């Protein structure tokens, strides 16, 4: 790290019913990880210790009684005991009000600190949307909840990252039948601009962005769909006029061949709907995928996989995606600092 100080990462365990506590324990047990950033872990201590037990490893930590005037001095993570409004024992390997309440309350503390520039970025363990909704979250996903909490009115989008490949999408958690009506010139330009900005914030000076078409074979010159001709292509040209290194549209069944090995020509791919990018990314490296809450005023990352209730408590969780999420949080947090 060449900056005057290390990035400060606010970290929470995610849903305690899943593999989040185990993953955070595995992550913070790595000395090299602790040397990359100053960490503030906001968690219930019993759950943190449970994660260590499941992972079969421990990490040093320094308890703090207050979040006022925090002193980040060395590679030992600071630990703030916090359970929020969650009452009673945490159910294991199942969705629950308690797990959802704990997830939201610990995240709220991390958001407040990071928005206030006490910390520079957030890394959270996997969440369970059913638990969040049971606990009262009215939004379709945590990204929209983050935006409302931060009172952020601008555009935002979920990015998925695998190693050095980033993807974004014009539409996300909507029915496939509703996708064509949401493919508009302004939305495509916005998706391209958002991921260009995020990549620059992560340290890439001149991102190369490939844009995916909507229809099979790009609509075959209008034979079965004109979105590529009438909307997506003109949107790419608008992005180019704004100084963004974007190209496309490319057919969905070949664009990801352009991001592998010696043939790599793009740093990011903008897709038109959820599964266009998600299927490719998860086939290329499910255990390493990261979700970045893109467009928000603060960096927020998490492993792209879920809570994995089927293996929770068994000591089998792969820390690869969590480590990748941590490294992205460090890069984005360092640039923000």
pLDDT in tens, 228-249: 999 999 999 999 999 999 999 9
Q: In total, how many domains does the chain have?
A: 2
Q: What confidence score (pLDDT) does residue 196 get? A: 96
Pair 163, 188 in one domain: yes
**CATH for 62:** 3.40.718.10
Pair 247, 174 in one domain: yes
Pair 186, 165 in one domain: yes
Pair 170, 146 in one domain: no
Pair 68, 39 in one domain: yes
**What number is the average pLDDT over the span 55-83?**
96
Q: Is residue 2 one of the residues assigned to a domain?
A: no
Residue 261 in 3-state DSSP? Answer: helix
Q: What confidence score (pLDDT) does residue 251 get? A: 97
User: pLDDT digit string (tens) for 83-111?
Assistant: 999 999 999 999 999 999 999 999 999 99
Pair 165, 250 in one domain: yes
Residue range of the domain that includes 239: 157-279
Sign of CA dihedral 277, 280, 281, 283: positive
The structure tokens listed for 158 are 């979920």
Pair 85, 197 in one domain: no
Backbone angles phi, psi at 161, to 5 degrees: -125, 135
Q: What confidence score (pLDDT) does residue 4 get? A: 62
Q: Is residue 89 one of the residues assigned to a domain?
A: yes
Mean pLDDT of the chain: 95
Residue 289 in 3-state DSSP? Answer: strand
Pair 164, 142 in one domain: no
| Residue 74 predicted with pLDDT over 80 | yes
Q: What confidence score (pLDDT) does residue 262 get? A: 80
- Last residue in a domain, options 252, 279, 306: 279
**What number is the average pLDDT over the span 311-324?**
96
Pairing of strands 289-294, 209-212: unpaired
Pair 196, 311 in one domain: no
Pair 23, 142 in one domain: yes
Q: Is residue 126 one of the residues assigned to a domain?
A: yes
Q: Is residue 291 one of the residues assigned to a domain?
A: no
User: pLDDT digit string (tens) for 133-183?
Assistant: 999 999 989 999 999 999 999 999 899 999 889 999 999 888 999 999 999
Pair 49, 107 in one domain: yes
Give CA–CA dist 156/152, Å, rounded.
9
pLDDT confidence tier of residue 293, bands split at 50, 70 and 90: very high
Phi-psi bin for 78: left (phi > 0), alpha (psi -120 to 50), beta? Answer: beta
| Residue 335 predicted with pLDDT over 50 | yes
Q: Is residue 109 one of the residues assigned to a domain?
A: yes
**What number is the average pLDDT over the span 281-307?**
92
Range in 3-7, 41-45, 67-71, 162-166 the model is least confident about: 3-7
Pair 144, 167 in one domain: no
36 in Cβ contact with 111 (< 8 Å): no
pTM of the model: 0.91
| Residue 2 predicted with pLDDT over 60 | no
Residue 66 in 3-state DSSP? Answer: coil
Give the residue among 292, 68, 88 at the shortest CA–CA distance from 201. 292
């Amino acid at each position: 790290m060449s900056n005057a100080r290390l990035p400060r990462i606010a970290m929470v365990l995610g849903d305690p019913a899943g593999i989040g506590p185990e993953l955070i324990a595995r992550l913070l047990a790595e000395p090299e990880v602790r040397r990359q950033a100053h960490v503030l872990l906001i968690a219930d201590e019993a759950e943190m210790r449970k994660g260590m037990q499941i992972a079969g490893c421990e990490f040093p930590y320094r308890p703090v009684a207050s979040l006022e005037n925090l002193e980040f001095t060395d590679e030992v993570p600071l630990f703030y005991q916090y359970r929020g409004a969650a009452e009673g024992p945490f159910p294991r390997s199942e969705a629950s009000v308690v797990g959802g309440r704990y997830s939201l309350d610990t995240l709220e503390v991390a958001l407040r600190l990071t928005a206030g520039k006490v910390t520079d970025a957030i890394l959270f363990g996997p969440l369970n949307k059913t638990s969040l909704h049971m606990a009262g979250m009215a939004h379709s996903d945590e990204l929209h909840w983050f935006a409302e909490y931060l009172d952020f009115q601008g555009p935002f989008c979920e990015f998925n990252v695998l190693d050095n490949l980033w993807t974004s999408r014009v539409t996300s958690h909507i029915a496939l039948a509703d996708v064509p009506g949401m493919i508009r010139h302004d939305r495509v330009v916005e998706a391209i601009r958002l991921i260009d900005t995020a990549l620059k914030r992560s340290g890439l000076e001149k991102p190369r962005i490939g844009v995916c078409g909507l229809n099979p074979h790009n609509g075959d010159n209008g034979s079965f769909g004109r979105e590529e001709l009438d909307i997506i292509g003109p949107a790419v040209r608008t992005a180019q006029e704004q100084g963004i290194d974007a190209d496309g549209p490319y057919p969905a069944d070949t664009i990801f061949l352009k991001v592998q090995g010696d043939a790599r020509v793009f740093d990011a791919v903008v897709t038109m709907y959820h599964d266009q990018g998600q299927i490719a990314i998860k086939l290329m490296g499910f255990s390493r995928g990261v979700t970045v809450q893109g467009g928000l005023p603060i960096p927020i990352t998490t492993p792209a996989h879920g809570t994995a209730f089927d293996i929770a408590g068994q000591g089998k969780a792969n820390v690869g995606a969590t480590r990748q999420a941590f490294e992205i949080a460090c890069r984005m947090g360092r640039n923000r600092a």
